Structure 1
Amino acid sequence: MTTPPDDVTPAAHDPEASPAARPRPAAPSTLAELERRAASRHGRPAYGHDALIACDRLVRVFTTDGVEVQALQGLDLLVAEGELMALVGASGSGKSTLMNILAGLDVPTAGAATVAGRDLLTMDARARLGYRRDVVGFVWQQTARNLLPYLTAQQNVMLPMQLHGGRRRAARTKAAGELLSMLALDHCRDRRPHQLSGGEQQRTAIAVALANTPSVLLADEPTGELDSHTAEQVFTAFRTANEELGTTIVIVTHDQAVAGEVRRTVAIRDGRTSSEVLRRTERDAATGRESLVAREYAMLDRAGRLQLPAEYTHSLGMAHRVLLELESDHIGVWPDRTADGAARGRETGGEGGRESESRDGDEVTEGDS
């Protein structure tokens, strides 16, 4: 949080100034103006209309022994076609639940989710089976779940093609060979999984997941059991599939090295997307040198909720409630300076006070003050 500029009048920025002294956005003065604004919204495209993956206020509730647990609490996520991105989050944040929903292995409780035009909430069992076979590929962390032990690498890649149907054996053999060659696995074609290294097994699993040319490839901790060098080889295979086949790839990972290799990393916390890191290459105008620049953004969901970093809120003594100020080009977020607000701030470690509770983060919702 930044302090208001010194050259701006206190009445416009002081949170303790009287409401009458602070400027407010002009309210529409006529009913016609309100109707005009409402009518202008009708022509807007639907949320996520141009995204390959669109999750809109997604909710997943589990019930165990009569106790409800909300794994996803109104999560929003958009993934464009052709993206290679990573999902990160602490254990229990909801990222694995989201992956299972996108893979067609679980059904959301509420909200909306579409992948390549398929509605994940309305599909019946048969449609869900076709979705898993044709639209998404999946790579598990445990290599034993990806490959059949009694088949060679090439036979494992050919099996999804055979189950799908529509190709002759010669065509399946050729396609499987091309996938293995693309992922630098020519030497593994006739080897069974126990004859492959961990990295070779995972790269073969990627080839299996790509066998039916899916729109989306999902990977759950694909480098979790591998050393850093082998993990880099596996990630190179993902990058190759993304660049050469145009496959959209979403990777769930705890590995910061993997997360740092993608252009976009989305963090999930408490069942919602909390922040994004976007990376881009910039060229220095003077020297011509290229450098990778990363910038982190907080996520504003469809309900107007914003998760603020805990270190920010604790340092300013923000707890329970904050004051919002609408400016011409930004929204100011201020600590509560009332008597009870200051007391709450001291209790949570702000303004030199002693920290008495531990929290992962704080949330501001549009309109709260």
Structure 2
Amino acid sequence: MTATTDTPSLAELQQRAAERAAARAGGTDRLRGHIVCDGLVRIFKTDGVEVVALQGLDLVVDRGELLAIVGASGSGKSTLLNILSGLDVPTAGIARVAGVDLLTMSAKRRLRYRRHMVGFVWQQTARNLLPYLSAKENVELPMRLARRRAGTRPLELLEMVGVAHCADRRPAQMSGGEQQRCAVAVAVANDPEVLFADEPTGELDEATAGEVFGALRTINAELGVTIVVVTHDAQVAAQVRRTVAIRDGRTASEVRRSARVADDGSHELVTEEYALLDRAGRMQLPAAFVDALALRERVKLNLEPDHVEVRRGDGEG
């Protein structure tokens, strides 16, 4: 992928977001570990049946990062998002956002945390906006509830996400994409530390989804807000520096993308995939690898000077 003069490259957007994040944090030494999960467990109990949604999940998100989380239905990604946004309480382990311990918070502190420290965008457009308020009034509402003076900020945020023309329109007078971009403006109205988005493009067509994700990238770059997006959209996941895959309640793999200057001076996007090791040294092999080599039950491991070799067990392969 080559950068153009009109559209900022991924590297340029990341650099801008890092600079804004450093300014918010008061220095680059406070950038790491904005979100920390260590051995995170969530167990649901219904009619005597226990369902383990998260099984010791580990995750670190840097301040100012724009991260995508992917995984099949039931993998635990929405459970993780609900815990980090203060909508659910973990069963065990460590979950911290901006230094706040989500495991030990009281109900009063949890409410304050949701109101001031995090923003949230739902997949269903109807859940994000009040239908009887205009776009501008929807953005103003969380500021009024927090007793903050709105001033020109609502209009500035609407302009930032590209829907300033909808300021006086109610949700029913906006398209689905315009509603979601307005919802992004609402989510950052109180200048939160982190913005969480649960399948924000799930109900939109490809072109409109691109506009909504563009709004998230703009907010990340201009405000330095840390953003975590749960998505099934491969196109969205491919536009962030880091994509983390969750499988069976654990982080399984990670894709990192970085910009590299080619010989002709243009910017190339380099993509590398990694498997993740937990503290016990356990690793999940990508499903495609398992299927390609027909790996079952057990495998043979050989330690080489610079790598570990994995072969089929039982004398096969």
Question: Which of structures 1 and 2 has the larger relative contact order (alpha carbons within 8 angstroms, sep 6+)?
Answer: 2
Choose 326-335 or 114-123, whichever is displaced more. Answer: 326-335
SS in 2 for 1:307: coil
The counterpart of 1:197, out of the listed 170, 175, 182, is: 175
User: Pick from 71, 76, 98: which aligns with 2:58?
Assistant: 76
Specify the code of the residue in structure 1 equivalent to 2:118: V
What CA distance in whole angstroms lies between the structure 2 residues aligned with 1:72 and 1:200?
Answer: 34
* Shift in Å, 1:316: 4.0
In the TM superposition, residue 49 of structure 1 has moved relative to its aligned partner by 9.7
- CA offset digits 1:70-118 (Å, max 9, x no partner): 1111111110001011101110010000010011000111110000000
> Separation in 1 of the partners of 2:242 and 2:310?
27
Q: Does 1:301 align with 2:300?
A: no
The one-letter code matched in structure 2 to 1:153 is A
Tell me the CA shift for residue 315 of structure 1. Answer: 4.2
Distance 1:72 1:332 in 2: 29
Aligned residue among 209, 215, 220 for 1:237: 215
Residue of structure 1 aligned with 2:81, choices 99, 107, 110: 99
Task: Say which is worse superposed, 114-123 or 287-296, in terms of deviation.
Answer: 287-296
Contact 1:158/1:173 (<8 A) preserved: no
Distance 1:136 1:199 in 2: 22
Separation (CA, whole Å) in 1 of partners of 2:187 and 2:41: 27
Per-residue CA distance 1:286-345 (angstroms, 9 max, x = gap): x22321111111111222110012343344453323333444433333433xxxx24xx6
Q: Given the alignment of the two structures, is residue 333 of structure 1 paired with residue 310 of structure 2, yes or no?
A: yes
The CA RMSD over aligned residues, in Å, is: 1.7
Tell me how far apart the structure 2 counterparts of residues 260 and 314 of structure 1 sit (CA, whole Å): 23
C-alpha deviation, 1:162, in angstroms: 0.9
Q: Note if 1:178 corresponds to 2:156.
A: yes
Using structure 2 for the length normalisation, give the TM-score: 0.87
Judge conservation of contact 2:31–2:63 (CA < 8 Å) in 1: no
Residues 257-336 of structure 1 correspond to what in structure 2 (within 5 A)? 257-285=235-263, 287-336=264-313
Name the counterpart of 1:210. 188
Q: Which residue of 1 aligns with 2:15?
A: none
Aligned equivalents of 2:32, 2:215: Cα separation in 1: 27
Cα distance in 1 for partners of 2:279, 2:144 equals 42
Deviations 1:148-202 (A, max 9, x none): 111111111111011112x33xxx0411111112112221111111011111100
**Counterpart selection for 2:91 from 87, 94, 109:** 109
Alignment equivalent of 1:153, drawn from 127, 135, 145 = 135
Give the whole-Å Cα distance in 2 for the aligned partners of 1:137 and 1:163.
14
Report the counterpart of residue 227 of structure 1 in structure 2.
205
SS of the residue aligned with 2:190? coil
2:31–2:62 CA contact under 8 A, matched in 1: no
**Deviation readout 1:100-151 (Å, 9 max, x if unpaired):** 0011000111110000000000001001001101111000011111101111
* Structure 1 residue 237: Cα displacement: 0.5
- CA apart distance, 1:281: 1.3
AA at the equivalent of 1:195: Q
Q: Say whether residues 1:142 and 2:120 are aligned partners.
A: no
- Name the CA distance, whole Å, in 2 between partners of 1:302 and 1:106: 25
1:188 is aligned to 166
Residue identity in the other structure for 2:235: A
1:61 and 2:35 matched: no
| 1:5-63 Cα deviation digits (max 9, x unpaired) | xxxxxxxxxxxxxxxxxxxxxxxxxxxxxxxxxxxxxxxxxxx9931000001111111
Contact 1:53 1:115 in 2 (8 A): yes
Partners of 1:198 and 1:106 lie apart in 2 by 28
Conserved? CA contact 1:75–1:273, under 8 Å: yes
Deviations 1:198-244 (A, max 9, x none): 11100110010001000100000001111111111111110110000
Alignment length, in residue pairs?
Answer: 288
**Unaligned segments of structure 2, at least 5 residues:** 1-29
Structure 2 SS opposite 1:78: strand
Aligned mates of 2:158, 2:145 — CA distance in 1: 19
SS of residue paired to 2:36:
strand
Shift of 1:259: 0.7
Cα separation, 2, equivalents of 1:123 and 1:276: 30
